[in-house]
Structure 1
């Protein structure tokens, strides 16, 4: 590890407040200063003293900021290219522009993505002119005529363009996570690349950001509109936008959504998009962030040789409106099909202010997930269904938001008053003195864990750039929090939290503001899979340094010891820091005992003969220890994690709870009420209905693990003492240990002392087995109030066979996943039928289960028949594109070569493999098999495993909009009752069409 230098001294400092007496945290402030350096090639950079991340911050001559940090744990580099350009800076008459531009930056340049740019640009100019004409036209009939002309010219232009060339090049590198996002003040482009592909990545990215070409414009615009429709189907997004509107009645934070308005999306200006790119996509308004396996000196030289060629321009961001103080509560209401909740938001100052520090601390005192005021007084006592708070800080302003979901017998106003009540406790100083020390340590632990992760660290860097933060201030931030006294925090709370909030009521009901649009009838554009630009040919000819895969010898890497009582302890040393996790594993779960999950969940609300539930949470928090008891289908886990020095104290506390939990009938009644309300709320979530309810029914029918649940009346009749006994009796069953951390001897000694078990352990109860039924000829439909419709096709394949893992992995890369896959190109790029579309061959997680063929599409309801036809055609007739296959093959091999299984993941990966009946690192076999595969081999795999499969089709959509006649062509349509899907008690029958 090069960048993570957590010293023993820093960890000991964390421990100062984690003892029983909880003394005040040390006031010693670590020295933080910026130092200037020059490398051997003459590049100057800044570092910050006592920076655990080892950042080098360069500024090129053209103004580009370059954030570099090393981590050689795996041969990969997390990259971000960040631009200070977001929806705040959209012209008022063209909202959504920054986001749409983000999509178009993937379309290539005058060299990437074209067969003949000189011919193509004439047609692109004609399209741009037509859009300006379309934008100005007010007559709907004439607008349609212009759009038809746009479609005609776009088809001609597509004969010259070559879609997805950027995606093909990036995929060929073995890149992961290729994407981008736009928000208020930022647009950020993302890739995680193998370290040996840095040169090629820099080449293509510097070309990509050198010029904007708006090809394939109207098809991508339709994809963005589908993204807009997804937002209309997302009640949380709508409530969030309403809250922002209340907080910021003048500022773009509240007045310009990132996605833009429907009218602006349907009336775009290519001229305005070019202006925006030319204004903001300049090096002195951009940053490159790289965290991973590279050498500093040679890397900055390569960056300068590529991105250093971009021309600097003066950048002036618009002056944005200021907000007047909020002097009385502002009320907002949002309607939709999902469960009700209420939010309160208080506007604050922005990043870099004293308010940011004070609110960060206040937020953690109120809610830290364990011992905050909201945690203990609302969630632990089950006074609401759930409650939380969080902070958001931006350049100009920030806000502190509180959210609460009601119990079955509560109004939203009652939840609101309970949240305000916890704020009042903060204002009165009704929290323990030691909490300030503890929450700072909690933040430090979280930061330590984040800095172990390349992606999280790189995200922290680009956020610092976007928000104009000096990295030294980020390094010093937690030390600054140490200076805040309880009295100062209380005084701030009294001044800050008044009747100056926005309250947003998310209510159940029809949304009258939904925008529904016609299918524009786009003519599918040419994909030209057999064509390549000269740039692509040159790019593919570049040879990168070879990168060899590294495989894991699991039996060597996972050491084993035994406790005095004979329990097996598998362990892996944590070489990075002094954090640990200790896991007691029982190879039985809910399939062995339906009450297991119920009992585990109940334990979280209980105290003991020594501690109340709230006191117990506080004791764990003082120690910096998290504990858990959880169940899966075939496993139960009991464990703790946190600071190694407090392992023994944490285990003492866990064992005390385990052995001395005291049931409480009132608490149990509230717990069952919470489960009942959770079921009701879950029935309103379309994702839960599709991916849980419908998918499970499509695989198993009536006899599914999802439907094997207790009815609420059954739960109410249980004796809570029985559930507590069930948890206590876990110790009597066979078990094993996994420890990740330092000093395994100390961990085993603690287990010997504290984890007392019987001499003879019990065998596990017999487990329930569920039979996967044959698929085909069934359409399961749920009526749901939404703009889009979503469809999942599922076909049962053969029983799990390790020999198919290589071909299925390559098939998925080539055919159904990723921006350069066949499905994405056909459904979205060519035909504009969906924002999201994917397909693939899914291998089972257990050797006795079946593999599945699946396909998914989410689209506007009036496009659904076309989308279904397009998807089913692909699932029957796989297009054969030799060059695309070779790129997919190369990408798959490079991802395997760059993958490193490390730390505790070694153990958990091995656990997963053993469930499949595999005892070795089978990536070696997969790699060698793929290396020798041809397109003919993949075609054979397709014919034998995908072509001709019969599907159960799961559909969720608005019955008023969905073409039910078209659905009936796919099989027998059954409209599913949601209670029946999940086997809840309101109605245990199903409605059939």
Structure 2
């Protein structure tokens, strides 16, 4: 079971203890037969309402209904992952996952008999290539593979599977591989279920390894992204220490570089034939469907698959860890440390004990680590998390150092907190509180179709008895504090693996040569017979539903005249209340500082630690957060505890007490956060370079208070600022039941006196004109990432329909023009996209954006390919019609519900739109032709002048090759973020 940490949710313990009698809940399993005569199991008191079918061929089918929206989350899970990769073919399960998207002998081919001849030749060539030791002969074989692959591509049709899922209106079309599973995902409109079942049954019936060598290059790019991810490197080193014999530690999912360079199509076919069998697979559906017709359809398709005898290999056992094992990895990101303890696997008593220990150590609010390390700011950040797999599990603790703190000092602080757990240094109410926290976190999880489907995936992969999973949290509640501490003393000894992530050069980086692949044919104008027949099948149309915001969002007022907008929650007893101020950091830069500082101080009545405990006992969480134009004071949790939670929040608001020592630590934390942020390439590109490309030097990102300015601030001023917020204009949004009680609580606790003040004038940041600039930042990485940015026309509501369709057709998704050309045909990137991005505020400019992440030695080719597309949109009538159909179906299946009704209206109003504009968009898209899209492209995208933001390793990158895009300006990271180094700050 995956732990979901929320800051808020546990029952009111006093009420639970004094008003309720503990009763034993029954989780009896019942076997039944449905109208089709098919047997299924249910569990009494299962909040998910699962029907678990087992077909005659062994296929498991998990079905759970939720009609909140006309969609179905679908997963197809295979109980096989990287654990079962042959030792000479690591990465095989993951590469197979990629290839399952390439079609079958019916999907993705214009002439299977002719194509098959070439694919057999390619397979034989790969076997020769793998066996060949001479480098020159190996290269010659690869060139022959490339030549034959080009011939084969005359008969292949790229992305037919993706075109069909897109035509259904599917979203989230993807897959993932891990140790023990490979899982394929789609979220589909409910009316397309029958077509989806037929498509997936065909897809998993046959494996065809077409477009093999181009996809292998995409996997290499994914391998490179992993080399650029220091977290993954630390994680892999941790696993290596925990599992020196078992594949958990010895076979990474992505595989070894030498194995990726020498693949075997024969091995991949063997793996598929062995593990992709019905008695090793599950179909999982959560959403809006009827049980009997759905299982009948699945049985008529997947039920035809032949059962095969299957034995999973017995994997290596691990010996006991008797002394700390030390590993270290290097990379450019900030330093961190992990300490991990190996446990028994899922479905064991240790799973229960470790889960409970973990939540007592860190629950995001009142855990031992939360209170003693994070709240006291003794480290930059710390936490812990458990993972449970089939054979083993582990409990990992992580920490990042403050300025001047060593990783060993962080390690000792983490180990000291574990000692507190072992010694029982936590309050008696904590076990019940964290179990209730988990229970209500689970309630939220079960409302979400995707999260619930994930839970079923875990149940299948880890062979969990569902009745035992349903009662898992009840079992935790039976564990006493004494039992837990006895377990902790035995479990947490000197039997851990400590992994140091240090800053420095990683000398284990694998450089991959550009193989010079000849672009393969995409054949956009062709269709397989299967696709043609598939498109002729008509589903019952799904009608879109729009929101009448004027009636959906109701209004009332507090006794002191503050407007309360509300949407009723008819699903459960949770609430969410937000007091909204239409001012933010643009109005006063200190607001963000003050909001963050409030997290670390108490009042004249409560210490900060005591406050955290009081909120946690109530099952309530609070927050104060700022955006550039908004400030939110929020409260959420159990409806019955709203009055007491609001009383506590208002007490903090009115009586917060400045703490100079806490403020000094807070400033140090901000400084260290800035230093850490400078080491994150994602932050550098998507925040630093993007803001510079949009605003130049005068960006909101660079308009910051320097550390010496922060140090000079009196924390009393920040506390006064928070308290004074209550005197400004404000409004309230409430999502929950019993609005009258919520308003009554506001009347009692949220006291407002006198006339409310107007907001300070917001500072405006002017967007610069784009074009002719290349902004480059040097960073130690394997890949190079580029972002093209062009400022467009001011926002116009009438452009939203065309831009939405354009993005589907051209720039985003597996079947888009950009993805096909850059990745599928030319193998120049793992990730590439383009988009027409609409502004978030009326009067602001729209932007044209394009992204490529690629090897440095492919950069020039990738840039040329992208710029060619951005200046001449390929016209593919069939692909346009499919994109149009997909866009309409996605809009038809979209439902705006619950609190999203209010927040979506907030976003629309910011754009000057006062109604549900999806109706106008839907009607406009219905009438659009490819000529209309071409006109939109020519007017808004073609010929745009770009600022190009680049991050990469200067040693590997031919920077001059970028000169054709504009004048190159190398930007230092400190300059990019406008950070003054601390050593230059006056003390």
Give the TM bin, normalised by the shorter chain. Answer: over 0.9
Partner Cα separation in structure 2 for residue 505 and residue 809 of structure 1:
45
Question: CA offset at residue 26 of structure 1?
Answer: 6.1
CA distance in 2, matches of 1:686, 1:768: 29
Give the Cα separation in 2 of the matches to 1:924 and 1:29: 51
Q: 2:660 aligns with which of 656, 665, 672?
A: 665
Shift in Å, 1:28: 3.2
Matches within 5 A, 1:101-500: 101-500=96-495
Please give the alpha-carbon distance, in whole angstroms, between the structure 2 residues aligned to 1:938 and 1:879.
11
Matched residue SS, 2:396:
strand
Query: Aligned to 1:701, which of 687, 696, 715?
Result: 696
Alignment partner of 2:756 out of 758, 761, 779: 761
Whole-Å separation in 1 of the counterparts to 2:527 and 2:177: 30
Query: Cα deviation per residue 1:918-951 (whole Å; 9 max; x = unaligned)?
Result: 0000000000000000000000000000000000
Residue 902 of structure 1 pairs with residue 897 of structure 2: yes
* Mapped pair 1:17 → 2:29: no
For 2:544 and 2:674, the matched residues in 1 are separated by: 46
Q: Partner residue of 2:787?
A: 792
Cα contact 2:374–2:380 (8 A) shared by 1: yes
Are 1:586 and 2:581 matched, yes or no? yes
Distance 1:139 1:71 in 2: 59
CA contact (8 A) 2:544 2:892 kept: yes
1:888 is the counterpart of 2:878? no
Over aligned residues, Cα RMSD in angstroms?
1.2
Deviation at residue 968 of structure 1 after TM alignment: 1.1
In the TM superposition, what is the alpha-carbon distance from 1:15 to its structure 2 partner?
Answer: 3.2
Q: Does the CA contact (< 8 Å) of 1:203 and 1:306 recur in 2? A: yes
Distance in 2 separating the partners of 1:357 and 1:29? 19
Contact 1:179-1:189 within 8 A present in 2 as well: yes
SS at match of 1:490: helix
- In structure 2, what is the equivalent of residue 646 of structure 1? 641
Contact 1:700 1:772 in 2 (8 A): yes
* Residue 686 of structure 1 pairs with residue 705 of structure 2: no
Q: CA deviation at 1:759?
A: 2.4
Q: Superposed, which structure 2 residues align to 1:726-741 within 5 Å?
A: 726-741=721-736
1:147-194 per-position Cα deviation (integer Å, ceiling 9, x unaligned): 000000000000110010000000000000000000000000000000
The yes-or-no answer on 1:745 pairing with 2:705 is no
The separation in 2 between residues aligned to 1:109 and 1:573, in whole angstroms, is: 48
Matched residue SS, 1:666:
helix
Q: Deviations over 1:394-415 (max 9, x none)?
A: 0000000000000011000000
Report how many residues are paired: 976
Structure 1 residues 988 and 323, CA gap change in structure 2 (3 angstroms): closer
Question: Shift of the alpha carbon at 1:18?
Answer: 5.3
CA contact (8 A) 1:24 1:437 kept: no
2-structure distance, mates of 1:815, 1:970:
22
Match of 1:540 among 532, 535, 545: 535
Conservation of the 8 A alpha-carbon contact between 1:17 and 1:24: no
Q: Is the 8 A contact 1:25 1:437 kept in 2?
A: no
Distance, in Å, in 2 between the alignment partners of 1:336 and 1:169 is 42
**Which residue does the alignment assign to 2:838?**
843
Structure 2 residue aligned with 1:957, among 946, 952, 964?
952
- Partner SS for 1:858: strand
Q: SS in structure 2 opposite 1:604?
A: helix
Question: Residue 866 of structure 2 corresponds to which residue in structure 1?
Answer: 871
Aligned counterparts of 1:500 and 1:919: Cα–Cα separation in 2 = 61
Classify the secondary structure of the residue corresponding to 1:403.
Answer: strand
Indicate conservation of the 8 Å contact 2:573/2:639, yes or no.
Answer: yes
TM-score (norm 2): 0.98
2:6 is aligned to: none
**In the TM superposition, what is the alpha-carbon distance from 1:969 to its structure 2 partner?**
1.1
Question: Do the aligned residues in 2 keep the contact of 1:29 with 1:479 (CA within 8 Å)?
Answer: no
Contact 1:607 1:662 (C-alpha < 8 Å) held by counterparts:
yes
Classify 1:975/1:485 alpha carbon distance in 2 versus 1 (closer, same or farther; 3 Å).
same
Structure-2 residue corresponding to 1:94: 89
Q: Distance in 2 between matches of 1:766 and 1:227?
A: 47
TM-superposed CA distance for 1:24, in Å, is 11
- Residue 595 of structure 1, aligned match among 585, 590, 595: 590
Give the deviation of 1:758 after TM superposition.
1.8
CA distance in 2, matches of 1:710, 1:794: 28
Q: 1:611 and 1:988, CA in 2 relative to 1: closer, same or farther beyond 3 A?
A: closer
Closer, same or farther: CA 987–418 of 1 in aligned 2, 3 Å: closer
Distance in 2 between residues matched to 1:26 and 1:401, nearest whole Å: 36
Instruction: Report the TM-score, using the length of structure 1 for normalisation.
Output: 0.98
Whole-angstrom distance in 1 between the partners of 2:513 and 2:25: 61
For residues 23 and 972 of structure 1, the distance between their equivalents in structure 2, rounded to whole angstroms, comes to 73
1:559 Cα deviation from its structure 2 partner:
0.4
Q: Secondary structure at the match of 2:600?
A: coil
Q: Per-residue displacement from partner, 1:812-832 (whole Å, max 9, x unpaired)? A: 000000000000000000000
Query: For 1:674 and 1:986, how far apart are their aligned partners in 2?
Result: 15
Aligned to 2:819: 824
> Compared with structure 1, are the counterparts of its residues 377 and 988 closer, same or farther at alpha carbon in structure 2 (3 Å cutoff)?
closer
| Structure 2 counterpart of 1:82, from 68, 77, 80 | 77
How far does the alpha carbon of each residue in 1:321-348 deviate from its partner, in whole angstroms, 9 at most, with x for none? 1000000000000000000001000000
Question: Is it true that 1:970 corresponds to 2:965 in the alignment?
Answer: yes
> Which residue of 508, 517, 520 corresponds with 1:513?
508
**Per-residue CA shift, 1:456-502, capped at 9, x if unaligned?**
00110011000000111110000000110000000000000000000
Question: Once the 2 structures are TM-superposed, how far is the Cα of residue 23 of structure 1 from its aligned partner?
Answer: 6.8
Aligned partners of 1:803, 1:904: CA distance in 2, in Å?
27
Contact kept in structure 2, 1:77 and 1:195, CA below 8 Å:
yes
* d(CA) in 2 for partners of 1:641, 1:16: 14
Q: CA deviation at 1:986?
A: 2.6
* Paired residues of 1:16 and 1:26 also in contact (CA < 8 A): no
Q: How far apart are 1:16 and its partner, in Å?
A: 5.3
Alpha carbons of structure 1 residues 22 and 675: separation in structure 2 relative to 1, 3 Å:
farther
Instruction: Indicate the residue corresponding to 1:531 in structure 2.
Output: 526
CA distance in 2, matches of 1:904, 1:665: 39
Task: Give yes or no for contact 2:707–2:982 (8 Å, CA) kept in 1.
Answer: no
Report the alpha carbon displacement of residue 29 of structure 1 after superposing the two structures with TM.
3.1
| Structure 2 unpaired stretches of 5+ | 1-8
Q: In 2, Cα distance between the equivalents of 1:25 and 1:93?
A: 59
1:634 is matched with: 629
Find the aligned partners of 2:73 and 2:594 in 1 and give their Cα distance: 42
Q: Matched residues in 2 for 1:587 and 1:521: separation?
A: 55
Q: Distance in 2 between matches of 1:291 and 1:908?
A: 26
C-alpha distance in structure 2 between counterparts of 1:650 and 1:445, whole Å: 17
Residues 408 and 673, structure 1, Cα contact 8 Å, conserved in 2: yes
Structure 1, unpaired ranges of 5+: 1-12
After TM superposition, the structure 1 stretch with the greater mean CA deviation from structure 2, 980-989 or 790-799, is: 980-989
* C-alpha contact (below 8 Å) 2:10/2:617 kept by paired residues: no
Equivalent residue number for residue 914 of structure 2:
919
CA distance in 1, matches of 2:40, 2:240: 41
